[in-house]
Each structure stands twice: as C-alpha cells, then as structure tokens.
Chain A
Amino acid sequence: MRTNMHRSSATEVLIIGAGMAGGAIAKRLSDRGIKVVCLEQGPDIAPLELPHMSDTFELNKTRSHNVHPNVRGLREDYPVTSDNEGSSIRMVNAVGGSANKYSGVWMRPKPADFRKGTEHGMSPDWPISFEDLAPYFDICDAEMAISGIEGDPAYPPRSRSLLPPIPVGRGGLALGRALNQLGWHWWHTENAILTEERDGRLACNHCGQCVMGCPRGSMSTSATSFWPQAIRNGVDLRTGARVHRILKSGDRVTGVEYEELATGALHVVKADLVVLAANGIGSPRMLLMSGGPDGLANSSGLVGKNLMFHSMAFVEGILDEPMDSYKGARGSPLYSAEFYDTDSSRGFVNGYTMVMVRAPGAGYAAMGYSTFKPVAWGAKHHDHFAEMFNHQIWLLNVGEDLPLERNTVTLDPHQTDSSGLPSPKVNYRMHDQDRRLIRHSIGSAEQLMKVAGARLVNNSGVLEQPCGFHLMGTARMGSDPATSVVNKWHRSWDLENLYICDGSSMVTSFGVTPTATIGAMAVRLAEHLAGNRSKLLMMSAREEAELSA
C-alpha cells in the first residue's frame, strides 16, 4: 500500500488513526471527493512480516507479536501503565489498527442494548437507537465481507449477502448438539473472515492463528477492506506519523502537530475538520495531552472516564473424542445469547454471550491456553499432553460491564513513549454486579460443557482485569453536554469542528464484540459529514444534534 510523504500541509478532513473507524471514514469521505489526510503512528504491515511460517510462531505470538504494547515495546507503540496488577491492554498501532490482531468476530448489539437507561438506569440510554445504526451496519458488513448464516432469531430480520460460514469443526458440532439438547439459543457466529476469495485476497485456510494477523489477507480489517480504495481515491495516508497534539484556536481546532517518527521532524497539518479515531485509550489520551490540565473537549469532565472492557471468563471442556482443537479460524464458529437479555431474577442486570474460540498450536495448548493450567512437567508429561491435546473446546464469555466513572484513562505523570509524550494510565475495577454476571456465565458454560460430553471442565475464574481488546466508553456520545463528551453525531460539545469516533464513543459496552459497532458508527459519521458538508461548520453541536438520521 502506498503511503505519502511527510510535510506540513492543509486538508478538508484530518483523521487521527487508521484503524477500523479511521479507515471506514477515510474511504467513505474520499468516495465523495472530500480531501482527507490520515495520520497513523504505526506502519502498514506487510503479510510476510507475520510469523505464521516460522517455527517460532508460538513464541513470537507471546513476545514480538504480542497483542500487549508493553511487551512489543515498538517505537510506534506507547506503553500503557496501571496501578492494578498488570494492565491487560491489547492494541496495535498500524494501518488497520488493533484489528491486525483480532479474531474477526463480528457481532451486532440488539435493540434493547441502546436503552439500558430505560431498562435499569445503571447506564444511560444511547442518544441513537438500534434502528438509527442498522443501515450502517449493513453497509459496513457488505464492504467488510462478513461470513455467516442469516436467520439468527436473536436479532430483527435482516437481509444481507453473507459469505459461507467458517467450518465449526468437531468441537463446534459437539457444542451445537449440546446447545440444541439444552434448548438454548445459539447461532453460527458472523466473522470478518473470507471463506471465498475476494479482491485478490485468499480464503481462510483454517490455520487458527488469526490473532497474529493473517498472511493470506483472509481477515477483513480496515487495512484490507477500506484502505486500498481510500488510497486509490487519493487519501493522503501518512504512516509513522505520531500526533503530538491537536491545535486549537478559540472554539475550533485548527489541525495537529505531528512527528515523523523516522526522523523526529515535526510537521503541522491544518484542517477544516478533525476526526479523532485513535481507540478507546488513544483518543482520550490525545485529548488529555492536547489541552490544559483538563485537556481538550472536556467540559463534562468525562474524557477518559467510564472505561469499559467487558467482563470475561474462559471455560474449557476436555472430551474423550477428538475435537479439531488446533485448527479452524480462531474467531468463533458459534455463540450463544441464551443469557443475553436482562433477567433481574438472576441477581444482576445486563447479560453475556458465550463465544466458542479455538486453535492454539501444540505449545500454546501445552501452556494451558485460556485457562492457564499448563500440562504437567516430568514423568506424566506425555500422558497428560495426549489426554488434553485435540480434546479441548473453549468458550470465551463476554459480559456487558457497567460504565463507571472510577474506571479511567489518565496521563501517567512518570512514564512516556519514545517521543517523550505521557503514557496513558489505565485503572479498572469491575462492579460487583458485573462480577455476579460473569460468575453466572461460568456456571452456564460449565453446564454446557458437561452436556457436550466433557469429562473435565476448567475455567479461568473471573478475569478481574479482563482481556483489554475492547476499549470503550472514554469519550461517550450523549444528548446532554453535562453527561457526554460528543453529541449523537460524534461532534465535541466544546469544539466546533472536532469529531471523536471509535470505541470511546460507545455509551455502553453491550455483551458482544465491538468492532462491527465501531465500523457502523464510522460509516454513519462519514455519511453525515459528506451529506451535510456545506452546512455543518455553520451550526453548533447542539444544533447539529437536532439533525435526524
């Protein structure tokens, strides 16, 4: 992919971050002839940089290609600190963003998810509805090329063209039959994984190492699905471009100052409009770095607050029969939303999904994969390995966590990145009710595993610091400037031409993976900007909030 020269310049729209939202917005705006510059501090990752063909791929997966930026320690990354016992953040700074190391699980929220304020009041309602966002889910899904099967009764009817689903393998067959036996909801999970060749990208060949990226291009990310067309449209994508601060004059932003990482040279890009899309940690960090003590766009005091990760737990079943445990797209062959909707008789509000995951290599499986119980060493090693390997099935339980002001992204006063910019510091402590929810999910998954025929069931316990691959809520949208950072169109209440669109915009976390929602929000924002470009800068955020979908 061609990326452009660094220099000071001016543009109509400047996007910070080339991830899911940044890519979708850049592509769609440039489709309409709008001049776009996008600054991305990471590189454009080439397929053969990935370790899938190396004998050290499992070691690389946990080291040089780890999903945690602190472990990689790359110049384009920034450290994420925490007072907790080890922050658990997953993110990638590169074209395509953190989806470079995701599973491709592509789930939508449900209508009631946008009305939690009405339902129980521990979270606010979203300022938009499921119906407002649904058309943009469809657009984004079509461009991302989603695989799956229509007809999931847990959702309103939709009509889309899906690629065939990924194979479920013997583990999926066992779980599907058990779910049918229990009479619980389940469906084939939708995945952003090609099961047929498309646009020169190869279909998945089931290697199972999705979370290191895909050397075949089978995983759909903004790097594979949006950026090629955006570049052809003329978007000025600059990689190795680290934004130091957003520039401001009065009630408007004027552009950004960024560093060309290869040389250290500083450049300024001026813009009519700036879209911040640097993920649920990077975006609040950028806002906090760009202003005075409270940062930019923070009259609500909520920038960096209400951080959500999802509550999580893994459950593993070990069966007597072979389960194809080591192969098949890791993503998710199937999921259950049996316990998704609030049933307060359970002692908690909100709900969770149980998502089948799989496919560690032999070494990773021997180390205990998701439940962290390694195969015994010593005389019993080989027997233990043989009993376990290829006999495992796994569920990752994903629960909706409450937005709490105590869960924060702030600036670390001591730690900096390679440019001397302050690191984000993350603090997260889940609510007791969320802990009850995810404990319930462990019990449900254990019941399912036993019905599936598991002779042994292990679980990770409640992950008190959940796997932080879903970074949400830290610059949320809303209807009231006192309780939100942006309006329903992602526009800052404080700065007339600053938009924030990524996981930070999310008001609640839902009980599903967020990438599809981030993509849909980005497509919706791009359509809004392109359709109203002549009048947007003439109206305030409050006036804009009155615009209907």
Chain B
Amino acid sequence: MSQSQSADVQRRSREFFAVWSGDKKVHALTEAQLDVLVRLADVLIPSAPPWPLPSTLEIKDYFRRGATTKVDVDMLRTVVDKLSDALAQNLQSVEAAIRALETEFPAAYRAMLEFTYYAYYAQPEVVRVIRNQLDCDYISPPQPRGYVMSAERVTPRGVGSFVDTHKVTRVDLENVSFVEE
C-alpha cells in the first residue's frame, strides 16, 4: 500500500475520486458491451447450487441502469476491451486476463468487481439463498422493512476515568519524539 493512499483510493482508485465533472450527460454501454460484462460475471461468480449463475438473473438490466456516468462507463469499456478476446478462449485464459487487468488497470478491475458484486447481491434470488443458506434474515433493499433486533445488552464493568480541567499538568515528554523522519 502506498503511503499516500486514502481510504477512498483503496476502495475505488484515484481516478474515481480525483475527477470532477459538471457533465450531466447520461453515458451508456452498448448491448454488446453489457453482454460481455454479464459473461464475465459468470466467471467472477460461477454457479454453485443453490447459488444461481449471474447470467440467469437480471444483472444486465442492473448494469444498464447503474452505469450512466462517464467515469464508470469509461472504466467498464476498458474492461470489455481488455477481456473480450479472452472470453473467446477457455476459462483459464479469461482468468489470466482478469488477473492481468487487476495489475495493469486496477481502477477498471475494481469497477468491474463492484458492479458485478452489487448487481449480484441485489437480486431477489440471491437474497433468498443468503437467507436460506446462511441462516440469517438479510433483506435487500433494506427499507421500508428494516430489521427487528434484540435489545439484549451486556453491562460495562464501569472502568474509566477523566482528568479534571484544573488537574491537567505537563506530561513527561522524554519518551516522545516530535521530530519527523
């Protein structure tokens, strides 16, 4: 991790956060580009019953509705450009191409992963599997229903203190260096 990285950069790349655009034009991927992203989603999240394969769900529509800004569409186009050829080959070739994308175009890779994961885990069929397989009450979207939660609490031991204003005194700074490297 680079020393200057921020939480945002770690999440989604510098390109994503450094840009500012007053451009309100709606950008869009083509049907063919959307189809490539769906095929890639099947590689990223393979079928493992009862988990459904992404291409059997409505994720293409999710991609279409979700990718509308220039920065997203540009990054996903990069994904399509870099991985389309590999899709014509075997699974190992696609996986190798995805690993290369992660190294060479990390921002595009993150965008691909985000769109795929968000789209997949928003599907009602997937949410049902989460509830059934993982024994929980997860819902998506979270409103208007929300969740019921137990009011059970654990009681703190009551450890803790504070220093009164008039008792604040100079601390011993012998062990503290304020010189920067």
Q: Could you tell me which A residues sit within 8 Å of B by CB distance? A: 51-59, 62-63, 68, 70-71, 73, 75, 79, 81-82, 84-88, 110-112, 114-115, 118-122, 129-131, 151-156, 164-165, 167-169, 172-173, 176-177, 179-180, 183-188, 204-209, 215-216, 312, 314, 322, 324, 326-328, 337-338, 341-342, 344-349, 361-364, 366-368, 372, 374-375, 377-379, 381-382, 386, 389-390, 415, 418, 423, 431-433, 460-461, 463-467
On whether the beta carbons of B163 and A361 are closer than 8 Å, the reply is no
On whether the beta carbons of A367 and B142 are closer than 8 Å, the reply is no
On whether the beta carbons of A348 and B176 are closer than 8 Å, the reply is yes
Partner of B46, one of A179, A184, A381: A381
Query: Interface on chain B toward A: helix, strand, loop, or mixed SS?
Result: loop
B residues in contact with A461, CB < 8 Å: 1
B7 at the interface (CB under 8 A from A): yes
On whether the beta carbons of B98 and A377 are closer than 8 Å, the reply is yes
Besides A56-B66, A59-B114, A85-B5, 17 more A-B contacts (Cβ < 8 Å) are A55-B141, A59-B62, A62-B11, A87-B18, A88-B6, A154-B161, A186-B159, A205-B143, A205-B145, A208-B147, A327-B142, A362-B140, A363-B117, A363-B118, A381-B46, A432-B177, A466-B6
Residues of B in contact, count (CB < 8 Å) = 93
A residues in contact with B154, CB < 8 Å: 168, 172-173, 176-177, 180
The verdict on A168 contacting B141 (CB below 8 Å), with A63-B72, A362-B121, A460-B10 known, is no
Measured between C-beta atoms, what is the minimum distance from B170 to chain A in Å? 7
Contact residues of B between 91 and 105, Cβ < 8 Å to A: 95, 98
Stretch of B29-37, B82-90, B126-134 on the interface side:
B126-134
On whether the beta carbons of B118 and A465 are closer than 8 Å, the reply is no
Taking CB as reference atom, which chain B residue is nearest A54?
A: B141
B residues in contact with A86, CB < 8 Å: 5-6, 8-9, 13-14, 17-18
On whether the beta carbons of B7 and A312 are closer than 8 Å, the reply is yes
Give the CA-CA distance A15 to B55 in the complex, in Å.
53
Interface centre among A87, A169, A361, A415 (most CB of B within 10 A): A361
Measured between C-beta atoms, what is the minimum distance from A424 to chain B in Å? 12
The verdict on A381 contacting B44 (CB below 8 Å), with A111-B162, A206-B149, A465-B6 known, is yes
Interface centre among B7, B122, B145, B146 (most CB of A within 10 A): B7
Give the CA-CA distance A55 to B119 in the complex, in Å.
8
On whether the beta carbons of A389 and B159 are closer than 8 Å, the reply is no
B52-82 near A? 1/0 per residue, CB < 8 Å: 0000000000100110010010000000000
On whether the beta carbons of B176 and A208 are closer than 8 Å, the reply is no
Query: Interface on chain A toward B: helix, strand, loop, or mixed SS?
Result: loop
On whether the beta carbons of A372 and B10 are closer than 8 Å, the reply is yes
A-B CB contact pairs (8 Å), 17 listed:
A55-B62, A59-B114, A70-B17, A73-B22, A87-B6, A112-B163, A115-B168, A118-B168, A131-B165, A168-B153, A347-B177, A361-B121, A363-B122, A368-B11, A372-B7, A463-B7, A464-B3
Taking CB as reference atom, which chain B residue is nearest A333?
A: B153
Partner of B149, one of A327, A362, A368: A327
On whether the beta carbons of B122 and A118 are closer than 8 Å, the reply is no
Give the CA-CA distance A208 to B138 in the complex, in Å.
11
Give the CA-CA distance A328 to B176 in the complex, in Å.
40
Q: Could you tell me which B residues sit within 8 Å of A by CB distance? A: 1-14, 16-23, 43-46, 48, 51, 62, 65-66, 69, 72, 95, 98, 113-122, 126-127, 130, 133-138, 140-154, 156-165, 168-181
Partner of B146, one of A63, A115, A206, A466: A206
Give the CA-CA distance A51 to B141 in the complex, in Å.
9
The verdict on A349 contacting B171 (CB below 8 Å), with A59-B115, A205-B146, A433-B178 known, is yes
Give the CA-CA distance A73 to B164 in the complex, in Å.
46
Give the CA-CA distance A431 to B180 in the complex, in Å.
7
A residues in contact with B168, CB < 8 Å: 111-112, 115, 118-119
A residues in contact with B133, CB < 8 Å: 386
Partner of A120, one of B45, B142, B165, B173: B173
Measured between C-beta atoms, what is the minimum distance from A436 to chain B in Å? 9
The verdict on A79 contacting B20 (CB below 8 Å), with A185-B160, A362-B127, A381-B45 known, is yes
Give the CA-CA distance A81 to B14 in the complex, in Å.
12
Give the CA-CA distance A56 to B72 in the complex, in Å.
15
Taking CB as reference atom, which chain B residue is nearest A125?
A: B168
Measured between C-beta atoms, what is the minimum distance from A255 to chain B in Å? 28
Q: Return the 9 tightest CB-CB contacts between A and B, nearest first.
A: A205-B146, A465-B6, A79-B20, A185-B160, A207-B142, A88-B6, A362-B121, A176-B154, A52-B143
Give the CA-CA distance A465 to B116 in the complex, in Å.
28
Taking CB as reference atom, which chain A residue is nearest B48?
A: A382
Give the CA-CA distance A252 to B63 in the complex, in Å.
55
Measured between C-beta atoms, what is the minimum distance from B111 to chain A in Å? 10
A residues in contact with B23, CB < 8 Å: 73
Taking CB as reference atom, which chain A residue is nearest B130?
A: A362
The verdict on A153 contacting B173 (CB below 8 Å), with A111-B168, A378-B43 known, is no
Measured between C-beta atoms, what is the minimum distance from B26 to chain A in Å? 12
The verdict on A465 contacting B46 (CB below 8 Å), with A70-B18, A111-B165 known, is no
The verdict on A111 contacting B69 (CB below 8 Å), with A84-B4, A168-B153, A366-B117 known, is no
Give the CA-CA distance A502 to B144 in the complex, in Å.
34
A residues in contact with B181, CB < 8 Å: 432
B residues in contact with A328, CB < 8 Å: 147, 149
On whether the beta carbons of A56 and B146 are closer than 8 Å, the reply is no
On whether the beta carbons of A119 and B95 are closer than 8 Å, the reply is no
On whether the beta carbons of A59 and B66 are closer than 8 Å, the reply is yes
Taking CB as reference atom, which chain A residue is nearest B136?
A: A390
Give the CA-CA distance A130 to B168 in the complex, in Å.
12
On whether the beta carbons of A167 and B6 are closer than 8 Å, the reply is no
Partner of A432, one of B118, B149, B160, B180: B180
Measured between C-beta atoms, what is the minimum distance from A412 to chain B in Å? 10
Give the CA-CA distance A374 to B112 in the complex, in Å.
12
Give the CA-CA distance A216 to B10 in the complex, in Å.
32
B residues in contact with A415, CB < 8 Å: 20
A residues in contact with B172, CB < 8 Å: 344
On whether the beta carbons of A183 and B157 are closer than 8 Å, the reply is yes
Measured between C-beta atoms, what is the minimum distance from A185 to chain B in Å? 4
B residues in contact with A151, CB < 8 Å: 158
Taking CB as reference atom, which chain A residue is nearest B3?
A: A464
The verdict on A187 contacting B156 (CB below 8 Å), with A86-B8, A122-B178 known, is yes
Give the CA-CA distance A176 to B153 in the complex, in Å.
9
On whether the beta carbons of B134 and A390 are closer than 8 Å, the reply is yes
On whether the beta carbons of B6 and A84 are closer than 8 Å, the reply is yes
Taking CB as reference atom, which chain A residue is nearest B11?
A: A372
Measured between C-beta atoms, what is the minimum distance from B180 to chain A in Å? 4
